[in-house]
Amino acid sequence: MKVNPVNKEPLYRLFSYLPPYKGYIFLALIAMVIAAATSSLMALLMGKLTDLGFYQKNGLVAIWAPIALIGISVLHGGGQFCSSYLLQMVSQKVLVQIRGLMFDNMIRWPEETVQQEQSGRVVSRFVNEASQALSSASEVLTVLVRDSLQVIALMCVLLWHNWQLTAVTLVVAPFLVVILRTVSKKLKKLTSDSQVTFGAMLNVLGETYKSERLIKVYDAYKFEAERFGHVNRRLQGLTMRQQVVKGLGTPLTQLVSMCGVSVVVFVALVQAQHGTLSLSEFVTYISAMLLMMPAIRKLANLNGTIARMAAAAESLFQMIDVPLEKDPGTKILGRAKGKVEFRNVCYKYPQALEPSLKDFSLKVEAGSMVALVGASGAGKSTIINMIPRFMIPASGEILMDDIPQNELTLASIREQIAIVTQEVMLFDDTIAANIAFGAGREVSEEEIMKAAEAAYLLPLIQSLPEGINTRIGESGAKLSGGQRQRVSIARALLKNAPILLLDEATSALDTESEKYIQASLDKLRSGRTSFVVAHRLSTIVDADCIVVLDQGAIVETGTHFELLQKDGPYAHLYKIQFSKQVDKHHSEGK
């Protein structure tokens, strides 16, 4: 994935989304301070209780001590609940915002990026990384603030009581830093790797699920199982390695901090034996130490979480930073007349060796019909896809109503175009919604029905229990190939754009429905510029201009009759198809 050079640390960037929520964060901080303070209070109370209960034999202690304990616990628990609730709320809000940004960006990616990215990886960023980065964010903040506050507060208690003793414990600090650094570096790398693998797994899953029939017929169970097994095992390996690093980090830090505690216990015990440390002081000290241990452990664990979070955040921002489709044009066409001109256009797909379009020039007057003919791979779809500027010419230019496309805004270019692509694209929604999608505005059911009728969809709609409001399944799975194509034709018709692009729009139709659609397209074509790709030449005999292509270059152009007279490649193609039809008639006649 191509990424803008962004210097900001991903974590720093993640936290830059927080300022709007500073009110909530402030409240959460207060709650954390309460939680931290009450735990220090607990240590102090323990000492005080010992003092009062054992030495001064104060009878009242028996009454207020338990009340105080419960009170402090309630405060402590309440503080903890409020802080985690508030932080989770903030992180969820940021999560929604970032996911939204990712989505908005993704749908505006240039064609080339879309072709390079694996869909599984993209899905994984939404599902896995996004929540990983932010669900940990609240945890990190909580632990970072609450537990460091707790450690600081308890440290103060310790220093207050015996600073020499406390100073001794700090010797272990550098060891802790080294361990934590090593662990976090390793974990970040492992996390990135497993994110990539997780994406690959989603990809394999998606592909396999969709090609279920293929797998059955070609008996590809073993092949697919191996393909899945490979990523599955790789993910396991990476997770286990993460576990080892994480699992080693925590006991190591604990061991080192326990060394500190042991020194303190040793010194305290020696002091106690010499009578320089009272029992109450000793209890306070040890309670503080023991209360501090879980906080330190959490802080140490946090290191791993932060490393994983950084890796996840990096991956999110990579997605947000993909440069969008370039849209430098400023002119707006309004409703174009529909004149389209290609001037010496060359195009090469990023991964292709040979250019798919070579020095292609073609002038199409408004309202005329151009048919593109040529062998498979000749470049017909490439030409069609360049008109809405999905791809930008490597050299040369395309003009619409005599204005070069690069001076027009993308929205203005695409507003003029209705397209039926070679691969039909439908959503898991009703037929009505799929057709209305093309309009880009609120449309009445009447308009939808008119488009459906023109696309010869009425017989289908009438046969369905819920008519036009029948859901058609994922990618239109509940429809036949030809029905899908007709829905997508209806969608194009409804848009009512001055330029119509039909890439094999009628290839999956039977001769009868093709005839009907042809009739409605003929009606529609008046006053519209249309580019038609069709393998069946009978559908394009009426074209104002037929362009015969071979390997991305024009071989000949002319009307059907001109080309037949030339007796060139087109005439050859036509004769083959024609003779086939004649043969068919003959055999049917027999």
Ligand X SMILES: Nc1ncnc2c1ncn2[C@@H]1O[C@H](COP(=O)(O)OP(=O)(O)OP(=O)(O)O)[C@@H](O)[C@H]1O
In the complex, the residues that contact Mg ion under the rule CB under 5 A are: 381, 422
User: What DSSP state is assigned to residue 469?
Assistant: G
* Ordered alpha helix ranges (H), 387-510: 410-415, 431-436, 445-454, 458-463, 481-495
Nearer Cβ to ligand X (67/352): 352
What is the CB neighbour count within 10 angstroms for residue 232? 15
CB nearer to Mg ion: pick between 472 and 533: 533
376's contact among ligand X, Mg ion, none, with CB below 5 to 8 A by partner kind, is ligand X
Contacting residue, 382, 416, 483, 513, with ligand X by CB under 6 A: 382
Pattern 414-453, binding to ligand X, x per CB under 6 A? --------x-------------------------------
Q: How far apart are CA 564 and CA 401, in angstroms?
A: 31
Neighbouring CB atoms inside 10 A of 156's CB total 13
How many whole angstroms separate alpha carbon 229 and alpha carbon 224?
8
- Among 271, 381, 530, 539, the residue binding ligand X under the rule CB under 6 A is 381
How many residues bind ligand X (CB under 6 A)? The answer is 14
CB of 503 to Mg ion, least distance (A): 6
Output the smallest distance, CB 14 to ligand X, in A: 34
Applying CB under 6 A, does 115 fall inside the site for ligand X?
A: yes
> Which of residues 380, 389, 525, 528 is near ligand X by CB under 6 A?
380
Segment contacting ligand X by CB under 6 A, of 24-32, 345-353, 557-565, 580-588: 345-353
Q: Which helix (H) or strand (E) holds 544?
A: none
CB 342 within 8 A of CB 170: no
CA separation, residue 257 to residues 145, 172, 306, 457, 520 (Å): 20, 7, 20, 75, 81
The answer to whether 98 and 134 are in contact (CB under 8 A) is yes
Please report how close the Cβ of residue 301 comes to Mg ion at its closest, in angstroms. Answer: 55
- Strand pairing report for 369-374 and 545-550: parallel
For Mg ion, the closer of residues 172 and 378 by Cβ is 378
Q: Which residues contact 462 (CB under 8 A, 6 or more apart)?
A: none
Of the ranges 261-269, 331-339, 344-352, 457-465, which one interacts with ligand X (CB under 6 A)? Answer: 344-352
In the complex, the smallest distance separating the C-beta of residue 299 from Mg ion, rounded to whole angstroms, is: 59
Give helix 481-495 / helix 511-525 axis angle, nearest 10°.
Answer: 10
Starting at the earlier edge strand, list the strands of the sheet with 357-364: 357-364, 340-347, 395-400, 403-404
Q: Select 321 or 550, whichever has its Cβ closest to ligand X.
A: 550
Residue 100 or 377 having the CB closest to ligand X:
377
Which residue in 66, 377, 473, 481 binds ligand X (CB under 6 A)? Answer: 377
Q: Would you tell me which residues interact with ligand X (CB under 6 A)?
A: 115, 349, 351-352, 356, 374, 376-382, 422
